[in-house]
Amino acid sequence: MISAEDITRTYMMGLVEVRALRGVSVEIKRGDFVGIMGPSGSGKSTLLHILGLLDRPTEGSIRIFGKDVLSMSDDCKGRFRLSKFGFIFQDYALVPELTALENVILPAMAKGLSLAESEKKGMEYLSLVGLGERANHIPAELSGGEQQRVAIARALVNSPEIIFADEPCANLDTENSRAVLELFKKINEETERTVIMVSHESWHKEFFERLILLRDGKVSSDSYL
């Protein structure tokens, strides 16, 4: 489903070259629950952003659902992301002035659904993450764990086939982290959604089905657990 070959990503910091990825090849199958782990600076977020089409590699090729995604225009990539991908970031990235429901429906409205349809779907996903009763609260009135669950509902609202999560538990305590991981596992098992998640907590491994370890911008191991 995702086939990435020989991905490199070099950043220029003035005259200094930072080689974040040095030739990464991965094949991700439909329904995989993949953890990407490795030391700080090993290239985990860079790889996630590249696979999620939020960043371009310096070299390499990526096919997603058989499409050569790197040759797409930015507009086309945007539409592709909106219909096929859901993103969850460590800082939740919610709009502070909007209610939980209004935040959740943003991708559905951007995709062209009517307000009524978007709200119906939004409520469905807020209920799925256990926040049906908090739909009219703004982020400041919710705990960190609740805000992350709103972000998860938002990532799911367009029924994406692939969920990309960049350290989604970084700001959560163990109990809330476990709730988020259990939710991913449930979504993965019940709907065969692919989940690709960056983490640096070794206990998260018990939830993953497959673990890709990065070291110095390369894959140091890749195995089903």
Ligand X SMILES: Nc1ncnc2c1ncn2[C@@H]1O[C@H](COP(=O)(O)OP(=O)(O)OP(=O)(O)O)[C@@H](O)[C@H]1O
Q: How far is the CB of 156 from ligand X (least distance, A)?
A: 24
Q: How far is residue 31's CA from residue 93's CA, in Å, rounded to a whole number?
A: 26
Q: Does 17 bind ligand X (CB under 6 A)?
A: no
Q: Does 200 bind ligand X (CB under 6 A)?
A: yes
Q: How far is the CB of 126 from ligand X (least distance, A)?
A: 29
Backbone angles phi, psi at 151, to 5 degrees: -60, -35
Q: How far is the CB of 40 from ligand X (least distance, A)?
A: 3
Query: Binding mask 44-83 vs ligand X (x if CB under 6 A, - otherwise)?
Result: xxx-------------------------------------
List residues bridging with 37 in a β-sheet.
213
Q: How far is the CB of 1 from ligand X (least distance, A)?
A: 22
Q: Does 199 bind ligand X (CB under 6 A)?
A: no
172: tokens are 């959560």
Q: How far is the CB of 204 from ligand X (least distance, A)?
A: 13
Q: Which of 32, 33, 43, 126 binds ligand X (CB under 6 A)?
A: 43
Q: How far is the CB of 39 from ligand X (least distance, A)?
A: 7
Q: Which of 20, 108, 142, 196 binds ligand X (CB under 6 A)?
A: 20
Q: Which of 17, 41, 133, 225 binds ligand X (CB under 6 A)?
A: 41
Q: How far is residue 190's CA from residue 200's CA, in Å, rounded to a whole number?
A: 26
In terms of C-beta density within 10 A (0-12 exposed, 13-18 middle, 19 or more buried), how is residue 68 classed?
exposed
Q: Which is nearer to ligand X, 18 or 225 (CB)?
A: 18
The CA-atom distances, in angstroms, between 209 and each of 11, 27, 204 are: 31, 14, 11
Q: Does 181 bind ligand X (CB under 6 A)?
A: no
Q: Does 116 bind ligand X (CB under 6 A)?
A: no
Q: How far is residue 38's CA from residue 21's CA, in Å, rounded to a whole number?
A: 13
Footprint of ligand X (CB under 6 A): 11, 13, 18, 20, 38, 40-46, 200
